[in-house]
Copies of this chain bind each other. A is one copy, B any other.
Amino acid sequence: MLIVMQNNAAQKLIDAVCARIESLGFEPHSMPGAQRTAICITGNDGSVSKRHFADLHGIREIIQVSKPYKLTSNETQSTPTTVTVGSTNIGPGSFQIIAGPLHIESRDTAMRIAKALHEKGVTLFRANTHRPRMNPYSNMLSFDEGLTILSEIKAVTGMAVATDVEAASEVAQASGVADLLIVETHNMRHVNLLRALGKANVPVLLKRSSSATLQEFLMAAEYIMSGGNRQVILCDGGVCSFGEHSAYALDMTFVPALQQLTHLPVMMDPSQAAGSSFMVPALMAAAKSLGASGVLVDVHDDPAHSMTGGTQAITPEVL
């Protein structure tokens, strides 16, 4: 941490900051500069909160240097992590596709799409068993019914299956069926759920909140990893931005920035960001060239008659 003093801060104010640092058990290093004095803190193993200095005067700015994430950092683990889902490896050197309908509408529809995907060579099937996110007036199958259908798809096609969990109480049941548990965008900050996933023995795909910074995203993954589950995949589906040309902005610079800091595999979700199927193939190609480890993509064999998410789903043929 670096504490930058105002350029006219009196020596006694500087001394008070140094004394506070010492009282916290750390070591202050005062650096008188041409314009102002800055005070470095050493001896801290982790980040120090700014609040410890909130009552002191003469401070212009406090700059955090240490990062709060540890297990997700490639400073802690320098070799890239490969997460194995079913018999598919997700990690460096490969580009994997997880595909399926956004939600399970019925047993027959889901099975039909799954078979079509299996024929195209897809090995990872995903479908959400929950109702559409933010509309209380929609009807869907129950969580139990959804898992039963997924289980049947797995048995029939041999594909590994991935599905969403919405609450800590669902983790154990879902782990019995699914090969990969997905934390949707709107659940990235759902601490109880993250903690439960830290105890699960199934890999987790964590989607970035549409308002999460890089550090917030890594801290959410840190929750899962600190519970003991090291099989975490990061997935960016875009962030809120101005304009109406797509559902979310899918920022190309985020993937290399993330890869420079973490050993975890990074995937992208072009369907969520696009909101319209016409742009999904171009986004998938770009994600691959960018160096992502794969994509999560919505696929439906009859988007016009699907119950949810149809404008962004592509057909198995397009895939």
A residues whose Cβ falls under 8 Å from a Cβ of B: 2, 4, 6-8, 29, 31-36, 38, 40, 42-46, 49-56, 60-61, 63, 65-66, 68, 75, 130-131, 133-137, 166-169, 186-187, 189-192, 195, 209-211, 213-214, 216, 219-220, 222-223, 226-227, 238-258, 260, 270, 273-274, 277-279, 282-283, 285-291, 302-306, 308-311, 313
Alpha-carbon gap, A33 to B4, bound state (A): 18
Contact B246 A304 (CB under 8 A): no
Chain B residues contacting A257 (CB-CB under 8 Å) are 245-246, 279
Given contacts A4-B65, A40-B40, A290-B283, contact A49 B310 (CB under 8 A): yes
Alpha-carbon gap, A7 to B278, bound state (A): 19
Alpha-carbon gap, A36 to B43, bound state (A): 10
Chain B residues contacting A36 (CB-CB under 8 Å) are 75
Chain B residue with the shortest CB-CB distance to A60: B75
Nearest CB of B to A172, in Å: 14
Given contacts A42-B34, A190-B187, A310-B54, contact A246 B240 (CB under 8 A): no
**Closest A-B pairs by Cβ, 3 of them:** A51-B310, A186-B189, A211-B211
Alpha-carbon gap, A310 to B252, bound state (A): 21
Contact B56 A304 (CB under 8 A): yes
Chain B residue with the shortest CB-CB distance to A214: B245
Chain B residue with the shortest CB-CB distance to A291: B282
Chain B residues contacting A220 (CB-CB under 8 Å) are 134
Chain B residues contacting A187 (CB-CB under 8 Å) are 189-190
Contact A42 B51 (CB under 8 A): no
Chain B residues contacting A53 (CB-CB under 8 Å) are 304
Chain B residues contacting A247 (CB-CB under 8 Å) are 253
Contact A273 B252 (CB under 8 A): yes
Given contacts A45-B35, A55-B304, contact A135 B253 (CB under 8 A): no
**Among A38, A52, A245, A302, which residue has the most Cβ atoms of chain B within 10 A?**
A245
Of B31, B38, B43, B248, the contact of A33 (CB 8 Å cutoff): B43
Nearest CB of B to A278, in Å: 7
Alpha-carbon gap, A217 to B147, bound state (A): 30
Contact A68 B166 (CB under 8 A): no
Of B32, B226, B258, B285, the contact of A42 (CB 8 Å cutoff): B32
Alpha-carbon gap, A180 to B233, bound state (A): 37
Task: List, sorted by A's number, 24 A–B pairs whose CB atoms are closer than 8 Å.
Answer: A4-B65, A8-B75, A33-B42, A33-B43, A34-B45, A50-B311, A51-B303, A55-B302, A55-B303, A63-B63, A130-B191, A136-B195, A136-B226, A211-B239, A214-B244, A239-B241, A249-B249, A251-B252, A252-B287, A256-B282, A283-B290, A285-B291, A286-B287, A288-B289
Contact B192 A167 (CB under 8 A): yes
Chain B residue with the shortest CB-CB distance to A223: B136
Given A51-B313, A214-B245: 18 more A-B contacts, CB < 8 Å: A2-B2, A4-B65, A6-B75, A54-B313, A63-B63, A63-B65, A136-B219, A136-B226, A186-B190, A190-B190, A214-B244, A238-B253, A249-B249, A249-B254, A250-B252, A251-B252, A255-B282, A288-B289
